Chain A
Amino acid sequence: MGWQQSLQESDVSKVRTIYLNEPLRNSFCKNSISTAKYSMWSFLPRYLYLQFSKAANAFFLFITILQQIPDVSPTGKYTTLLPLMMILMVSGIKEIVEDYKRHMADKLVNTKTTIVLRENAWKMIMWKEVIVGDIVKASNGQFLPADMVLISSSEPQVTCYVATSNLDGETNLKIRQALLETAEMQTEKQLSSLSGKIECEGPNRHFNTFIGTLYLNGKSPVPIGPDQILLRGTQLKNTQWILGIVVYTGFETKFMQNSIKLPLKRSNVEKVTNVQILVLFLLLLAMSLVSCLGAILWNDWYRKGIWYIRTKDYSSHSLGFDLLVFIILYHNLIPISLLVTLEIVKCVQAMFINWDEDMHCKGNNVYAMARTSNLNEELGQVKYLFSDKTGTLTCNIMTFKKCTIAGIIYGNQSDRSDINLEKLSLSPSVITESCEFNDPKLLQNFENDHPTKDYIKEFLTLLCVCHTVVPERDGKNIIYQASSPDEAALVKGVKKLGFVFTTRTPTSVTVEAMGENFTFEILNVLEFSSNRKRMSVIVRTPTGNLRLYCKGADTVIYERLSEDSRFMKETLTHLEYFAKEGLRTLCVAYADLTEEEYQQWLTQYEKASTVIQDRMRSLEECYDNIEKKFLLLGATAIEDRLQARVPETITTLLKANIRIWVLTGDKRETTINIAYSCKLLSAHMPHIQLNSNSFEATQQAVTQNCEALGTRLGKENDLALIIDGETLKYALHSEIKRSFLNLALSCRAVLCCRLSPLQKAEIVNLVKNHVGAITLAIGDGANDVGMIQMAHVGVGISGNEGVLATNNSDYSIAQFSYLEKLLLVHGAWNHFRVTKCILYCFYKNVVLYIIELWFAFVNGFSGQIIFEHWCISLYNVIFTSLPPFTLGIFEQCCSQKSLLTHPQLYRISQAGNTFNTKVFWFQCLNALIHSFILFWMPMKMLEHDMVLQGGHTTDYLFLGNFIYTYVIVTVCLKAGLETLSWNKFSHLAIWGSILIWLVFLAIYSFVWPTIPIAPEMRGQVNMVLVCPHFWLGFFIVPIVCLILNLIWKLIINTCNRTLLEEIRELESSRAQGLYPPKMFKRRVEATKLRMSVASTLQKIVFPNESFDQSIPHGYAFSQVEQAVITQEELVRSYNTTKSKSSKISMDSSDSR
């Protein structure tokens, strides 16, 4: 909602004044932009600030500072600094690489060239040199370098067209028109003699507002509005050139004002991890306090005994000092490398998503893209999926599939083309040219003088004439440009039947029907609006008659039919049949007008079109007067095609226990149609329809339904809830919000239609805040941005409709069906990986550092460390750094094939049982036991000091090296035990880490005194590695530790098998060429049985009027309303007989 609200809030900003042709008086920000985080100089301070504002890093910095106090650190002065530096360096390098890319991208943008009027001549300069007040000349296809006021253009009426898809995601072109006062200024001389000023509002982020005034010397001031503004980032289309005065540059442009960084989303796992780090910190404090207490007691007890360190000096240290010693001693309990490990692991996981060939749309060569890597594991936990309809579930491609003319249905052999359809939908580029309507019967009837021949002719002619489509000849082909995809589909469909719409002039359309040309003079266009639900044209037919053609929703057409109209009943049944199939229907009808009638109406119309107040309404009333006494011809049925594999994907996701809510701005009828065709709703599923227009009615409906559900409220029922935006407004009222939510959560599917973008975000927010489950929103358009940002995970559909949704999303995929792989495979894997990695990082640190506590019990709580300083500080960054990576990057709980064929597996990660406080404590307890064994066994081994050849005695570090080696072996093997899928990297990491330590030990024991570090280590390797005890322990101690885990796993595996283990077993037996074990079969059968029982139990019929099983009519029509130029003007402004100097292409825009 933040996005929406910030759009609504008013930016109170200063007025800016721009003086024309006086560059020295205009001083505003430069036009060069930088999206980079750092500059060369600001990198170090800024980066360090960002890093140390993370609690963990700040903690380690604090420890590093503490270590500088003389004598306080038992682990040396720089032993925390070094790993911290290494970690900062690694993530620093990552930041630099990312920032370098941004710098390069910025440079590319800043050095683009444009033409600007400088010193009375046109000069080519770079974008970054453009300043406020410059007069810029841009030509067709160019992107505009800054926000500017249009002063003149090559086109008639000084208009120009811009594509704004970069900004708002809409693909239809926008028309801008310059002020007539400036329209004539085209030459250099005129322009450079221009003097005066522009006053306008300060920079803000609202695309659709602009308030300014142009003061030209010697003329009266002229207001400037949004229709004169060209924005940075938009592209000039269908216009040879334009001239504009720059008003906002660089960061002050609306484009840049809108590209403010989104708030960072944090994953659930990350939040839990932070809490656990805090818990560990508390544990650290507790351990330090216990040790301090131990030290006090010990000192009291032994005060006299320890003459050898002069207790008088010793006891002078205060309690606080001791506490610091112990905090430093145990500080590594908090895994220093966890954050950076996770960062890298998630980065690689994101790369895997980007590389995935299964999510690569071959048609437009778009790969899936992880725009953030923070949320990878969240993908494995999604419980609620909020999906947009248009462009997400559907392709937003309309095809004319069926029709009914004079009571006869055509195009009704759908089954045959289904296979074809499947194939086609894989490549969207092919679809646009295809037309599904293919029924030879229609033409046969037409040619063979069937009784309905005249109706057929009239029907097809109507579809050719009554629309706002513009034909464009491209050699032999005719390409239809339409702002309404429905109309384009109809015109294309009719073309295939031999009625070709060929030419449009401002006053006429020409239709080539069966080889003959007919020209219809267009007298009036009675515009479409969602209120009227219809559109008509009044034409003079080639025979000279006046006729009104109308197409629209069945309800509005039927109430305007004359008594003479036939086939009403048949058509109505056909309409219902179409709607059941999920098709969008339009009724078509015509009326013949007499001359007087028309003239009479025309005077009315002229009066109405000059009304100043409420012109729209008076026009509509006027239209209504002539749209009557229709004769019904029939109806069309258009298919809003689903994207590839949508029904299958939805079925899989439902099996994976994901609840799917469809949130759309579209109409109730179309939404339900789509829900049926994508198998979200099934025929036997009862609906709860909420459709009230007052608070009381809504409240009553909600309460009634809640009561009807009774005990099943709150459980999952095989029900569908359908609600529209109006009702939702009341339902979200704080009084009934809770019960509405309960009702919605009890339904398997929820459809919300007619929602504003804000409401979409509100619903997501409601579920997010009240349910505590992970939500995912998927959408493709600008109106989905709110919910995409609001949900835990936002997914954008890329490649179709602009970039706004994609830019605001966390992941972008090319098709809805890729969600299956993204969630079930990547999500589940990443969840397993990340949680294993985190738990393992905690485990390994607890194992090593708790040993210090055990050692404290034998060294009088003096704070002595049992290992060598540098060994301990390199533990996290070298010796055990690799296994977390392999766990986090390569671990696979089972193959992707199994994950996709058994969607039930998703429930494991969804429930999050693999990572919660309980698991965390269990892992800590395990680590505690391990550390105890790891300390106790070598202690017993060396207690008697006589283990070496030649009777030599040992020292504390000898014990330390034993323990350290065993810790590394144990910890690495534990990683191996956690790894379910061992690939070559796992082997490398596990055996490699052990080897690295042994090699390090060997080298490190020869360093002193050549390099003045580690004197205690000198000679250790000679003694440790030749000691047979060491090797015996090398095998036995880790085995003793891990045998506990192994037994535990075995017990779980045998006695309490989960589906995952069954499937893993199945996989491995399949790999060995064995048949699936019997047990598995039984299990699968049992699961199936359970599910079927559940579904029969949930099948309920409610005696409630809002439970609705009937399918309403599927009327749907999309058309842009209230554009700068009306539909009539649009129709009038084209002449396709002329060579196109100014071609306009209006791409499909949908209604949502």
Chain B
Amino acid sequence: MKRTSKDSQCKLPDNTALKQQQLPAYQLQLSATGVLSGFFATGVFCLGVGIILILSAKSIKEIEIKYTEICGNCAKLREDATNFDKECTCSIPFYLSETMQGNVYMYYKLYGFYQNLYRYILSRSNSQLVGTDLKDVGNCAPFSKSHDGTPIAPCGAIANSIFNDTIILSYNLNSSIPIKVPMLRSGITWWTDKYVKFQNPSSINLSSAFAGTTKPPSWAKPVYELDEEDPGNNGFLNDDFIVWMRTAAFPTFKKLYRRLNRIQYFTEGLPAGNYSFNITYTGDQKSSRDVAMEARDWSDTRKALSSKECKQPLEAEKSKNILP
């Protein structure tokens, strides 16, 4: 379907096909046969992808437990503002009927928590978090400075509202002694966050590095005491802190909490049996929350994708969302 530029043979040196608008061009023709065959090809492609997605989604095992209601007394306790610093724990037993094979990840999930509010996302100081300028709290309003004018580190609404429940998973091997399931907190952040975006200010020790700043009002401990055992996890480098600081797109979101350390009994994953979550309910967050476990196979395919389908006549099947 190329148009030849024969009839525009040059008469003058600058009489080019471009100037005479005679450039060879492919003419886009939408013929019924062409479009329909393309249509079917796309349909077949989508069908194939859909089948693969459904299969892989089925191989994912997931447990999701809402604990706001189960730990209802704690939630009630928190509603009274005077009890905000009282510790409250609750235990949630559950039974795993099948082994969760492969890598197992533990998430917490918050409902109706708007991490995507304009003023919330604005309220952080990236230059503070990168460790260069601790005093830079310009955008952090209303959590930039304490009442006496000391800059807050880490400042801003995001840092202030950090999720600080602790969740411990125990395995009742012989229905008598619960074993604490070994969990890793490392590697739960984006690599760039841990090694580029978040850096502690350089100093002899962390507490002196953060001198002249104060803790966010909702925090129990200052930032340099988040993990005193592991200096690589302390201060701004705290993994839980970093994960929280990546603000979610939707009001209901999951954040990675821990991943299974595949040692001892757990080299294959989580074996079937009795487990329980021991949760320390803290903070004054009123959002309801979940703890979720997800196991992944070799395929490492994702559940989320299975909720997406091609709008093709041939590929009408919508794979089921595997919700708990």
Q: Do A and B bind each other?
A: yes
CB of B127 within 8 A of CB of A980, answer no
**B298 contacts partner chain A, Cβ-Cβ < 8 Å:** no
**A313: which of B49, B141, B253 is its contact (CB, 8 Å)?**
B141
**B12 contacts partner chain A, Cβ-Cβ < 8 Å:** yes
Contacts of A1053 in B (CB 8 A): 30-32
* Contact pattern, A 296-311, Cβ under 8 Å of B = 1, otherwise 0: 0000001011111110
**A979 contacts partner chain B, Cβ-Cβ < 8 Å:** yes
CB of B190 within 8 A of CB of A952, answer yes
CB of B196 within 8 A of CB of A955, answer no
CB of A980 within 8 A of CB of B27, answer yes
Top 10 nearest A-B pairs (CB, nearest first) are A1019-B192, A308-B161, A1015-B126, A956-B249, A951-B105, A944-B304, A862-B118, A864-B118, A983-B25, A859-B116
Question: Which of chain A's residues has its CB closest to B246's CB?
Answer: A955
CB of B249 within 8 A of CB of A952, answer no
**B20: which of A355, A890, A1054 is its contact (CB, 8 Å)?**
A355
Separation in Å of the A885 CB from the closest CB of chain B? 14
- The residues of A with any CB-CB pair to B shorter than 8 Å are 71, 74, 302, 304-310, 313-314, 325, 352, 355-357, 829, 858-860, 862-866, 890, 892, 895-897, 937, 939-947, 949-956, 958-960, 976-977, 979-986, 1008-1009, 1012, 1015, 1018-1019, 1022-1023, 1029, 1032-1033, 1036, 1039-1040, 1043, 1046, 1049-1050, 1053-1054, 1064-1065, 1067-1068, 1071-1072
7 A-B residue pairings within 8 Å (CB atoms): A308-B113, A355-B19, A860-B251, A892-B21, A951-B256, A983-B26, A985-B23
Contacts of B91 in A (CB 8 A): none
CB of B311 within 8 A of CB of A945, answer no
CB of A1049 within 8 A of CB of B30, answer yes
Contacts of A960 in B (CB 8 A): 249
Contacts of B27 in A (CB 8 A): 980-982, 1064, 1067-1068, 1071
Contacts of A314 in B (CB 8 A): 119
CB of B42 within 8 A of CB of A1009, answer no
Separation in Å of the B217 CB from the closest CB of chain A? 10
CB of B127 within 8 A of CB of A1012, answer yes
Contacts of B213 in A (CB 8 A): none
Q: A892-B25, A1032-B49 are in contact. Are A1050 and B30 (CB under 8 A)?
A: yes
**B193 contacts partner chain A, Cβ-Cβ < 8 Å:** yes
CB of A955 within 8 A of CB of B247, answer yes
Separation in Å of the A607 CB from the closest CB of chain B? 66
Q: A946-B294, A1023-B190 are in contact. Are A956 and B247 (CB under 8 A)?
A: yes
Cα–Cα, bound, A157→B42 (Å): 92
**A1040: which of B24, B126, B259, B310 is its contact (CB, 8 Å)?**
B310
Separation in Å of the B141 CB from the closest CB of chain A? 7
Separation in Å of the B188 CB from the closest CB of chain A? 7
CB of A306 within 8 A of CB of B308, answer no
Cα–Cα, bound, A1046→B310 (Å): 15
Question: Which of chain B's residues has its CB closest to A933's CB?
Answer: B311
Contacts of A955 in B (CB 8 A): 246-249
**B63 contacts partner chain A, Cβ-Cβ < 8 Å:** no
**A1050: which of B7, B35, B300, B307 is its contact (CB, 8 Å)?**
B35
CB of A940 within 8 A of CB of B307, answer yes
- The residues of B with any CB-CB pair to A shorter than 8 Å are 1-4, 7-8, 11-12, 14-15, 19-21, 23-32, 35, 39, 42, 46, 49, 103, 105, 107, 112-123, 126-127, 130, 132, 141-143, 157, 160-161, 187-193, 196-197, 243, 246-251, 253-256, 259, 284-287, 294, 296, 300, 302-305, 307-308, 310-312
CB of B256 within 8 A of CB of A1043, answer no
Q: A947-B305, A951-B256, A1009-B132 are in contact. Are A1019 and B46 (CB under 8 A)?
A: no
CB of B29 within 8 A of CB of A1065, answer yes
Question: Which of chain A's residues has its CB closest to B19's CB?
Answer: A355
CB of B23 within 8 A of CB of A862, answer no
Separation in Å of the A332 CB from the closest CB of chain B? 17
CB of B127 within 8 A of CB of A956, answer no
CB of B130 within 8 A of CB of A946, answer no
Is the contact region of chain B dominated by helix, strand, or loop, or is it mixed? Answer: loop
Separation in Å of the B268 CB from the closest CB of chain A? 18
Cα–Cα, bound, A613→B14 (Å): 65
**A357: which of B15, B116, B123, B286 is its contact (CB, 8 Å)?**
B15
Contacts of B107 in A (CB 8 A): 945-946, 951, 953
CB of B197 within 8 A of CB of A1015, answer yes
Contacts of A308 in B (CB 8 A): 113, 120, 157, 160-161, 285
Contacts of B119 in A (CB 8 A): 309, 314, 862
**B191: which of A981, A983, A1019, A1067 is its contact (CB, 8 Å)?**
A1019
Cα–Cα, bound, A1019→B193 (Å): 8
CB of A953 within 8 A of CB of B127, answer no
CB of B246 within 8 A of CB of A862, answer no
Question: Which of chain B's residues has its CB closest to A1014's CB?
Answer: B126
Cα–Cα, bound, A952→B191 (Å): 10
CB of B141 within 8 A of CB of A941, answer no
Q: A953-B256, A1054-B32 are in contact. Are A1018 and B192 (CB under 8 A)?
A: yes
**B23: which of A829, A937, A983 is its contact (CB, 8 Å)?**
A983
Separation in Å of the A294 CB from the closest CB of chain B? 13
Cα–Cα, bound, A1040→B121 (Å): 32
Cα–Cα, bound, A944→B255 (Å): 10
Point out which of A308, A355, A943, A1049 has the most chain B C-beta atoms below 10 A from its C-beta.
Answer: A308
Cα–Cα, bound, A355→B312 (Å): 48
Cα–Cα, bound, A982→B24 (Å): 8
**A306: which of B117, B284, B311 is its contact (CB, 8 Å)?**
B117
Question: Which of chain B's residues has its CB closest to A1072's CB?
Answer: B1
Contacts of A1015 in B (CB 8 A): 126, 130, 197
CB of B157 within 8 A of CB of A1019, answer no
CB of B32 within 8 A of CB of A309, answer no
Contacts of A1043 in B (CB 8 A): 39, 42, 311-312
Contacts of A896 in B (CB 8 A): 21
Contacts of A865 in B (CB 8 A): 118
**B157: which of A309, A829, A943, A953 is its contact (CB, 8 Å)?**
A309
**A944: which of B29, B39, B251, B303 is its contact (CB, 8 Å)?**
B303
Cα–Cα, bound, A355→B113 (Å): 63
Contacts of A863 in B (CB 8 A): 118
Cα–Cα, bound, A958→B46 (Å): 24
CB of A859 within 8 A of CB of B304, answer no
Question: Which of chain B's residues has its CB closest to A1005's CB?
Answer: B192
Contacts of A951 in B (CB 8 A): 103, 105, 107, 188, 256, 259, 294, 296
Separation in Å of the B229 CB from the closest CB of chain A? 24
Q: A357-B15, A981-B25 are in contact. Are A309 and B117 (CB under 8 A)?
A: yes
Cα–Cα, bound, A893→B36 (Å): 23
CB of B253 within 8 A of CB of A953, answer yes
**B249: which of A860, A959, A1049, A1065 is its contact (CB, 8 Å)?**
A959
A862-B117, A953-B253, A984-B23 given. 9 additional CB < 8 A pairs?
A308-B285, A937-B308, A942-B304, A945-B255, A952-B256, A956-B248, A982-B27, A1036-B46, A1068-B27
Q: A308-B120, A951-B259 are in contact. Are A859 and B114 (CB under 8 A)?
A: yes
Cα–Cα, bound, A117→B318 (Å): 97
Point out which of B296, B304, B307 has the most chain A C-beta atoms below 10 A from its C-beta.
Answer: B304
Separation in Å of the B197 CB from the closest CB of chain A? 5
Cα–Cα, bound, A558→B105 (Å): 116
Point out which of A310, A945, A1009 has the most chain B C-beta atoms below 10 A from its C-beta.
Answer: A945
Separation in Å of the A362 CB from the closest CB of chain B? 9
Cα–Cα, bound, A608→B20 (Å): 65
**B307: which of A309, A943, A952 is its contact (CB, 8 Å)?**
A943
CB of A1018 within 8 A of CB of B256, answer no
Question: Which of chain A's residues has its CB closest to B125's CB?
Answer: A1015
CB of B25 within 8 A of CB of A1008, answer no
Contacts of A310 in B (CB 8 A): 142-143, 157
Cα–Cα, bound, A956→B305 (Å): 17
Question: Which of chain B's residues has its CB closest to A1054's CB?
Answer: B32
CB of A307 within 8 A of CB of B286, answer yes
Separation in Å of the A1057 CB from the closest CB of chain B? 11
Question: Which of chain B's residues has its CB closest to A937's CB?
Answer: B308
Question: Which of chain B's residues has its CB closest to A358's CB?
Answer: B20
